[in-house]
Structure 1
Amino acid sequence: MRTTHGGPRAWLREHPLVPDAVLAVLLTAAAIPLAFVAGAPPSPEWPDPRPPSALSLTLIAVACLALAFRRRRPFAMLCLAEAAHTVLTALHHNASLAGVALLVLIYTVASAKGLALSLTALALDLVAFLLVLAVSGGGLNLTGEVFGVVLTMTAWVVGRSVRLRRAYLSELRDRAARLERAREADTRAARAEERSRIARELHDVVAHHVSVMTVQAAAARRILTSNPEGAEEALSAIEQMGRTAMAEMRSIVGVLRTDGQDGPAERGPQPGVRELPALVEQMREAGLNTQLWVEGERVPLPPGIDLAAYRLVQEALTNTLRHAGPAARAWVTVRHEPGEFSVHIEDDGTGMKAGAPAVTSPDGGRRTGHGLVGIRERVALYGGILRIGPRPGGGFEVRARFPLKDDA
Structure 2
Amino acid sequence: MRSTPAPPTSSAAGARPAASAAGRSSPGACRARSRTGLGQSAAPVPSRSRLRSALPALLTDAFIVVALVVLNSSLVELARTVPAMAQLWGEFTAGHIGGALLALTMLARRHLPFTVLLVLTLSGLVGDHTRVLVWGTASLGIAVAAYSVGRYLPLTRALIALGTGVVVNVLATTLSPAQAGDPGEPWWINQGFYLGWLLAAWWVGRLVRMRAFHMEELATRAERLERARDAHTRAVLAEERSRIARELHDVVAHHVSVMTVQATAGRRVIDRSPERARQTLVEIEETGRQAMAEMRRIVGVLRMAEGGGPDRGPQPGLAGLAELVQQVRDTGTRTELRVSGEPPELAPGLGLTVYRIVQESLTNVLKHAGRGARAAVEVRFTSEAVEVVVTDEGPPPGGEGEPGPRRAADEPGHGLVGMRERVALYGGDLRTGPRAGGGFEVRARLPLDRRGPG
Deviates more, 1:226-235 or 1:142-151: 226-235
Within 1, Cα distance between the matches of 2:81 and 2:157? Answer: 34
Displacement of 1:131 in angstroms is 2.1
Displacement of 1:155 in angstroms is 0.8
Within 1, Cα distance between the matches of 2:90 and 2:218? Answer: 51
1:170-319 equivalent positions in 2, closer than 5 A: 170-228=216-274, 231=277, 234=280, 238=284, 241=287
Displacement of 1:17 in angstroms is 3.3
Structure 1 residues 237 and 11: CA distance shift in structure 2, 3 A: closer
Alignment partner, residue 147 of structure 2? 107
1:5-404 equivalent positions in 2, closer than 5 A: 11=52, 13-14=54-55, 16-38=57-79, 50-53=88-91, 56-89=95-128, 94=133, 95-132=135-172, 135=175, 141-228=187-274, 231=277, 234=280, 238=284, 241=287
Within 2, Cα distance between the matches of 1:26 and 1:149? Answer: 22
* 1:243-301, Cα deviation, whole Å (9 max, x unpaired): 87589789999999xxxxxxxxxxxxx9956969x9xxxxxxxxxxxxxxxxxxxxx9x
8 Å CA contact retained: 2:146, 2:199: no
Q: How many matched pairs?
A: 260
Within 1, Cα distance between the matches of 2:312 and 2:80? Answer: 97
8 Å CA contact retained: 1:25, 1:65: no
Amino acid at match of 2:260: T
Within 2, Cα distance between the matches of 1:202 and 1:40? Answer: 97
Within 2, Cα distance between the matches of 1:12 and 1:251? Answer: 50
Displacement of 1:166 in angstroms is 0.9
Displacement of 1:149 in angstroms is 1.7
Within 2, Cα distance between the matches of 1:49 and 1:98? Answer: 20
8 Å CA contact retained: 1:109, 1:118: yes
Give the secondary-structure state (helix, strand or coil) at the position aligned to 2:110: coil
Structure 1 residues 26 and 150: CA distance shift in structure 2, 3 A: closer
Displacement of 1:241 in angstroms is 4.9
Give structure 1 stretches of 5+ with no counterpart: 257-269, 279-299, 301-408
Structure 1 residues 92 and 116: CA distance shift in structure 2, 3 A: farther
Structure 1 residues 252 and 11: CA distance shift in structure 2, 3 A: closer
Amino acid at match of 1:183: R
Within 1, Cα distance between the matches of 2:190 and 2:228? Answer: 57
Amino acid at match of 1:81: L
Amino acid at match of 1:135: L
Within 1, Cα distance between the matches of 2:61 and 2:315? Answer: 79
Displacement of 1:51 in angstroms is 1.9
Root-mean-square deviation (Å): 4.5
8 Å CA contact retained: 2:266, 2:281: yes
Amino acid at match of 2:154: G
The structure with higher relative contact order (CA 8 Å, sep 6+) is 2
* 1:107-127, Cα deviation, whole Å (9 max, x unpaired): 122112221222122112112
Within 2, Cα distance between the matches of 1:141 and 1:97? Answer: 22
8 Å CA contact retained: 2:102, 2:138: yes
Displacement of 1:102 in angstroms is 0.9
Within 1, Cα distance between the matches of 2:109 and 2:316? Answer: 78
* 1:38-65, Cα deviation, whole Å (9 max, x unpaired): 4999xxxx99981232555554333322
Structure 1 residues 181 and 157: CA distance shift in structure 2, 3 A: same
Within 2, Cα distance between the matches of 1:245 and 1:239? Answer: 10
8 Å CA contact retained: 2:259, 2:284: yes
Amino acid at match of 2:161: A
Within 2, Cα distance between the matches of 1:172 and 1:59? Answer: 44
Displacement of 1:142 in angstroms is 1.8
Within 2, Cα distance between the matches of 1:198 and 1:274? Answer: 11
Give the secondary-structure state (helix, strand or coil) at the position aligned to 1:226: coil
Within 2, Cα distance between the matches of 1:127 and 1:49? Answer: 28
Within 2, Cα distance between the matches of 1:198 and 1:209? Answer: 17
* 1:177-226, Cα deviation, whole Å (9 max, x unpaired): 22222222222222222332233223222123213212321221221222
Displacement of 1:132 in angstroms is 2.6
8 Å CA contact retained: 1:81, 1:101: yes
Give the secondary-structure state (helix, strand or coil) at the position aligned to 2:89: coil
* 1:136-170, Cα deviation, whole Å (9 max, x unpaired): 69855322321222221111111111111111111
Give the secondary-structure state (helix, strand or coil) at the position aligned to 2:136: coil
Structure 1 residues 78 and 40: CA distance shift in structure 2, 3 A: farther
Runs of 4+ with >6 A deviation: 2-5, 46-49, 246-256
TM-score (norm 2): 0.46
* 1:78-102, Cα deviation, whole Å (9 max, x unpaired): 2322221232356676522311011
